[in-house]
Amino acid sequence: MTAGTARATALGAVWNYGAQAATVVVQLAYAAVSARLLGPQSFGHYSAALVLSSFVTLLATAGLPQAVSRMPALDPARVTGLLRYGVVVGCVACVCVVLVADGWAWLWDVEGAAPLVRLLSINGLTAPLLAVGTGVLLRQGRFRTLAATTFGCNVAGMAVGIVAIAVLRSDAGLVVSPIVAQLAAAILTVALSRSVFRRGPAGASVLAEIRYSARMTVASSLSFTAGNIGKLSISNVFGAALLGHWNRAEVLTTVPFYQVQNAIIQALYPALREDVDGGERSRRVWPDLLGLVAWLSLPTAAVLAVVIPALVPVLFGSGWGEVTRLVPLLALVGGVQVVAFVLVSALEILARFRWVWAGHLSALVLTAGGGLLAVRLHSVAPVLVGGLTGVVVMHGLHLWLCHRAGLFDARSLLRTYAGVALFSAASAGAAYLVVSVPRLIGGAPATVGVVATVLAGCAAAGWGLRERLPVVRLIRKYGLVGA
């Protein structure tokens, strides 16, 4: 990867995540207001319904953004064929969601989820249209346009959603935001990429993309099941209220990290499409890419695991104490997932789907085991530990497979990870000292000066040694400063 390609990829990721980060800020306000208008029970109903809606959206999307964005050239006939294929898939998905709504609520033991599932069925219809439109914009390198569209639609959805919640004061108001946001985004992305949809659909020429998207769907389904099977055990053992707490905890932890992950992957797919056969570039670039992502995501996760529990009462008010106990491990899961799924996306570009499926299956087994232990022990902890262990084991398996196949040297990357882990632990310790200041002021005011001195010393030392940090060297190596 040349410096120019790296800068272009980084700029794409920056625009993608800029929109996601701005959305997170607005989403925090939306979460704070909605948490004061509705209780944990309502969010439990919504969370159970959202799992099915997200899964059907995943199936309806069918890997279409990746299939389009990795095309060597945008063939209007093939893209138009994929759009029509998406419309058919979306109609089928919408009908299926309506039909299984009651059964899904029974499975989760959350009766109030069924009406919300039926309302969310519209997202199954719009998901494929959004997928194709997004893929075209990514392939054309129109990151800024996609970022602005994503942000505008998300904000509009949340604004309408807050009004709906305030007026209805019922569970139904919670589904308004995702429905409005996705519908608006689907219409706008297809409209913005309309210049590509000019010719009649190509029949056999889209089969390769459909086959690729089908294999992507299998991978995404395994990943989705591994990520949500723990919630199923929680819902059946502890009820909708705890599921609602879990939903609010995810908004503060795994959701922002997922948005980081999505922003990076969207930019990588077009940039790394030349790596479909592997080779020298993967051996040279992939360890640097994974190391850079680890340096950015894991220390952040460690800090958030310490800081967010102190902010929960400020954001959500009283009655959400369980969120503070869920946040630390969920934050770590989110940080590790970013690194793991960047490698997964690289393997998907190479079409190494057996490796991808094996990794997702290993994660699924561990998270399912955590869910079974949660039922047996009547404790949430096994679900959290199983989720974190599953992601770590999946990434370890993928590293071993890549190393064995000669795609890159995993041993040097593991040394990088060790350095990141030590820095993350130190960052968490510093964050703990900062969070402890209010308590120290009340109990031992003299200690505040010691804490401030230690933190200032650490900050000065870190600044002085910044050029020696691997993350700074990687940024300078690829000319990312100023990207």
How many whole angstroms separate alpha carbon 129 and alpha carbon 87?
7
Residue pLDDT, tens place only, 215-248: 877 888 888 888 888 888 888 888 888 888 888 8
Total Cβ atoms within 10 A of residue 77:
17
Total Cβ atoms within 10 A of residue 269:
24
User: What is the pLDDT at residue 225?
Assistant: 87
Quick one: which H or E segment has residue 134? helix 113-139
In this structure, are residues 297 and 263 in contact, taking their beta carbons and an 8 Å threshold?
no
Is the predicted pLDDT of residue 362 greater than 90, yes or no? Answer: yes
Q: Extract the tokens encoding 186.
A: 């689907």
How many whole angstroms separate alpha carbon 329 and alpha carbon 320?
17
SS3 sequence of 279-311: CHHHHHHHHHHHHHHHHHHHHHHHHHHHHHHHH
- Residue 451, helix vs strand vs coil: helix
| Cβ-based neighbours of 200, under 8 Å, separated by 6 or more | 77, 80
Residue pLDDT, tens place only, 179-215: 999 999 999 998 998 888 765 555 555 676 777 777 8
The alpha helices in 193-279, defined as continuous H runs, are: 207-238, 240-252, 254-271
How many whole angstroms separate alpha carbon 143 and alpha carbon 125?
24
Residue pLDDT, tens place only, 5-34: 445 555 555 555 566 667 777 877 888 888
> Which residue is associated with the tokens 């604004």?
159
In this structure, are residues 374 and 380 in contact, taking their beta carbons and an 8 Å threshold?
yes
SS3 sequence of 25-69: HHHHHHHHHHHHHCCHHHHHHHHHHHHHHHHHHHHHHCCHHHHHH
User: What is the pLDDT at residue 481?
Assistant: 45
> Which residue is associated with the tokens 């639609």?
153
Residue pLDDT, tens place only, 85-131: 888 888 888 888 889 889 988 888 888 888 999 998 888 888 888 88
Q: Extract the tokens encoding 383.
A: 């679900």
How many whole angstroms separate alpha carbon 252 and alpha carbon 256?
7
Q: Extract the tokens encoding 378.
A: 């009547």
In this structure, are residues 80 and 137 in contact, taking their beta carbons and an 8 Å threshold?
no
Q: What is the mean pLDDT of residues 409-419?
A: 89
DSSP string, 347-397: HHHTT-HHHHHHHHHHHHHHHHHHHHHHHHHT-SHHHHHHHHHHHHHHHHH
Is the predicted pLDDT of residue 358 greater than 80, yes or no? Answer: yes
Q: Side chain identity at 307, as an amino acid letter?
A: V
How many whole angstroms separate alpha carbon 175 and alpha carbon 112?
13
Residue pLDDT, tens place only, 276-332: 455 566 566 788 888 888 988 999 999 999 989 888 888 887 778 888 889 999 999
Q: Percent of the chain at pLDDT above 90?
A: 23
Report the predicted TM-score, pTM, of the whole model to 2 decimal places: 0.73
Find, among 353, 369, 362, the residue nearest to 390 by Cα.
362
How many whole angstroms separate alpha carbon 135 and alpha carbon 278?
23
> How long, in residues, is the chain?
483
Q: Extract the tokens encoding 406.
A: 């000669």
